Amino acid sequence: MSNYFRKLPNLDYPTLLKNKQSNTDYIETKNLFRRVKIREDLFSNFVVFDQYKIIGDERPDNVAEKVYGDDNLDWIILMSNNIIDIKNEWPMTQSDLNTYINEKYTQKELSNIHHYETIEFRDRNNQLLVPAGKVVDESFTIEYYLGESGLRNNGQLKTTSPIRSVNNYENEVEINNKKRTINVVKEDILGLFLKDFNRIMKYDKSSQYVNRKLKKTENIRIH
């Protein structure tokens, strides 16, 4: 992420140091409030992104090295998924996951049922009746007709309960695994992405403007 912070523009901020020379002394610092966020509607754009499956204990820099050949582009991996809190938004390592689970649950609680979810169910014509992974009540059932066409007048009415229980341990593993599918900017438009990012990071002219990478700001004290 160090390469990302180098790209941030700067602020001339009034110093609060006691040994300042005058009321107009400034300290140049990075503008941490300047942030680029990718529009949500672009995440489904297959022209911009590829999907990537995080393997094992891969970190963002590992993914950047594998996809772009440059681990310094780890910030693009995070930005491509609007990840701000890497501790909670990036999948945990197996060791960290085990520690987290063991601290959260007792050994007995690990096997307690957290919820029920559907398993995929199709009729004899391979028509999908119930998709997998939908959270449902324990009493969830469906009715269907056991016939060649599945129509009321061609078969016998049947009832089934295509569900499975998910315990606390399985639920935590599933939550962590869902974080493994991420977006990565396609390599062939990476140059355009970086060009647009650098453009957005530059300041427009204003009363505080010094240059494209620096502007002055005032310190507002609250008494």
Residue 145: pLDDT above 90?
Answer: no
Residue 114 or residue 80, greater confidence: 114
Segment 80-87 mean pLDDT: 90
d(CA 44, CA 209): 37
Structure tokens at 143: 């009715």
Percent of the chain with pLDDT over 90: 51
Residue 26 or residue 118, greater confidence: 118
Residue 3: pLDDT above 70?
Answer: no
pTM, 2 dp: 0.70
99 confidence band (pLDDT: 50, 70, 90): very high
